[in-house]
Amino acid sequence: MTSYWNDFPGMPEALEKVSGIINSSSASENPVIFGGLSAILNGDGKLLRPGLLVIASQFGSALKYNSEKCYHLAAAIEMLHVATLIHDDVIDDSPLRRGQPSVHTRYGKQNAVLMGDFLLSRCFILVSEYSSQEQALALARAVSVICSMEIEQNSDRYQADTSVRRYFKKIMGKTALLFSLACYVGAAEAKAPAASAARLRRAGYNMGMAFQIIDDILDYAGTAETVRKALGNDFKEGIVTLPLICALKMDRSGELKKLTVPGQFALADRGQVIALVRESGGIEAARNCAKKYTDRALREISLLPGGAPRDMLEKLTQRLLVRDY
Amino acid sequence: MTSYWNDFPGMPEALEKVSGIINSSSASENPVIFGGLSAILNGDGKLLRPGLLVIASQFGSALKYNSEKCYHLAAAIEMLHVATLIHDDVIDDSPLRRGQPSVHTRYGKQNAVLMGDFLLSRCFILVSEYSSQEQALALARAVSVICSMEIEQNSDRYQADTSVRRYFKKIMGKTALLFSLACYVGAAEAKAPAASAARLRRAGYNMGMAFQIIDDILDYAGTAETVRKALGNDFKEGIVTLPLICALKMDRSGELKKLTVPGQFALADRGQVIALVRESGGIEAARNCAKKYTDRALREISLLPGGAPRDMLEKLTQRLLVRDY
């Protein structure tokens, strides 16, 4: 799991501690909860959000007194993330997650709903114990926005004529908010200067936007081996992402439009749609967009105080842009 | 909604305020969230948990400075409760809730899962804003126990040979814990003396146990009109409750046992099972049990400082025992 972080000084050790806290904080005597959660929590997640929180905390002066606290908050933010993944997989009926059968596939949808709730409550327990009231509030607000955006995404299913603006709004809530919050919470709890904390918040936001766009690109442009799930999954679920939105704008033959009119969308052949999006240049257009957010993140990062934490953030941001899974 | 409280001095007004806070705190611009939540939040729930919190707060000296805070926490505890109801209905596939179509029936299971999450996060926002860290922690822990017990209930489906002890453990987590917490949080936040707060916690626990047993009895002994849903719903879902457990112990003919052996359970005729449970005396045995918990609650209440709040608690406890819905 922490191999993703092998060339980031100190990070594998820090994230090992975070993983330990995640496991102990979500432990349960109930064999269903124990089995279901340990599979997903010890799967091959990259621990990006806790990693960001840990790095951001290194911009603060209070780190040496507070690294335990910071590891606990990093654990909480990953638990929140995983709770939303479990519920997302129930909602999208996804068979795989992190290269393993999803929780609801193994334990049923009923238990998956409850396990997500359980994990969310354990996350709030950690936050109540280890963070300031301000951060607890920010985290609760984040969950509320994440849910709202997921509900909007649900309402928008099979609507191919969505705007880029609306897409951005949804991925902000779905992904960028939590990246941004991880950076901000780490900085704020370690008492980083307000200017650095604000910059980290913006850097996290832009990284999160780029990250989600790349994720959405991989659903069209990846290979099933590297992505470790079937391609075209978003399309199949009726979720309209940036590559498709861009491709539709450049769809001169009108072929793609025909496949995505209301009533046809759900029936369209995934393979054909993927091919058309690729041919039309939708992938490149989306990739340019991800590049723009990455550049914005890099600019914010370049203005942070220099040193190992800044170098790590820069390297991470660049790596996320060129990832293939 | 507040008509249940009409003969409790000051309570309809207090709960009107609580309802206002529930509505504003769970408001959303999203029409799906707004529609889904306002239907269930403004349905005919009795607002028992917030009512208990409000009454318990009247045992404290700090009430006059803190009634706003107490109304907000009362709202939070009802929102937590409704969030679990929404997820429960998804899990049990129940078509009705509070006399209305359940959220998932109207908005789909996907949105229902997300709406429950949304409401839970809004509950935690309120708690972060208005309560002490100690109560925030207690509430998060309660959610975690509620989920664990629901998962245990799920694992135990169609197992008729469950013990009374195990049944009690589950209803403690499912219901009594939140009743108990409502009483304790109200008392503690209003700075009631520690002895009163502890007594209120125990009174709430015993009231909650009695309440859930009566609920489980009504599924066998009620009428569809008063209960406003089909009888035998628990049995149909494979959930083994006290009337059935008691009836099986007194099942001399062995008829009920035959209907509930593994493999047969799911196929058994609801009407026949209800009739057998009624005939065997399972209802009376369960009712005696509810009476015992009610008596314990009344004893705790009788030892609280006298006055209007104590009178209200006593009346409420007695009313809950003889309710038919």
pLDDT in tens, A104-144: 888 888 889 999 999 999 999 999 998 888 888 888 899 89
The DSSP symbol for B5 reads G
DSSP A161: T
Residues in chain A, total:
325
Tell if the CB–CB gap between A147 and B91 is shorter than 8 Å.
Answer: no
Do β-strands A96-97 and B96-97 pair in parallel, antiparallel, or remain unpaired? unpaired
CA angle A124, B55, B14 (to 5 degrees): 90
Indicate yes or no: CB of A87 within 8 angstroms of CB of B117. Answer: yes
Q: Quote the pLDDT of residue B154.
A: 85
Encoding tokens for residue A170? 């949804």
Task: Give the B-side interface with A, CB within 8 Å.
Answer: 28, 30, 32-33, 84, 87, 90-91, 108-111, 113-118, 120-122, 124-125, 127-129, 133, 136-137, 140-141, 143-144, 147-148, 150-152, 154-155
What's the Cα-to-Cα distance from A4 to each of A139, A180, A206, A292, rounded to whole Å? 26, 20, 21, 24
Cα–Cα nearest to A147, from A122, A127, A170: A170
Average predicted confidence (pLDDT) for chain B: 90
Q: How many domains does chain A have?
A: 1
Q: Read off the pLDDT band of A178 (50, 70, 90).
A: very high
The tens digit of pLDDT for each residue in B115-125 reads: 999 999 999 99
Identify residues of A whose CB sits under 8 angstroms from chain B CBs: 28, 30, 32-33, 84, 87, 90-91, 108-111, 113-118, 120-122, 124-125, 127-129, 133, 136-137, 140-141, 143-144, 147-148, 150-152, 154-155
* Window from A46-60, A62-76, A182-196 with minimum mean pLDDT: A62-76
> pTM for this one?
0.90
Question: For the segment B268-289, what is each residue's pLDDT rounded down to a tens digit?
Answer: 888 999 999 999 999 999 999 9
CB atoms within 10 A of CB B167: 24
**Phi (first) and psi of residue A48, to 5 degrees:** -65, -45
Instruction: Grade residue A215 by pLDDT with cuts at 50, 70 and 90.
Output: very high
Bridge partners of B97? B100
| Radius of gyration of the CA atoms of chain B, in A | 20
Question: Does the beta-carbon distance from A136 to B136 stay under 8 Å?
Answer: yes
Q: Where are the alpha helices (DSSP H) in chain A?
A: 11-25, 31-41, 48-57, 63-92, 103-130, 133-155, 164-171, 177-189, 194-221, 224-227, 233-236, 242-249, 255-259, 270-280, 282-302, 308-322
Q: Which amino acid does the sequence have at A292?
A: K
- C-beta atoms surrounding A26 within 10 Å: 27
Distance in angstroms (rounded) separating the CA atoms of residues B288 and B298: 15
What range defines the domain where residue B83 resides?
2-322
Return the residue of B nearest to A118 by Cα. Answer: B144
- A162: domain CATH number is 1.10.600.10
Across the interface, do B128 and A144 touch by the CB < 8 Å criterion? no
Give the one of B90, B124, B154 whose C-beta lies nearest to A124's C-beta.
Answer: B124
CA angle, A24 then A26 then A28, to 5°: 90
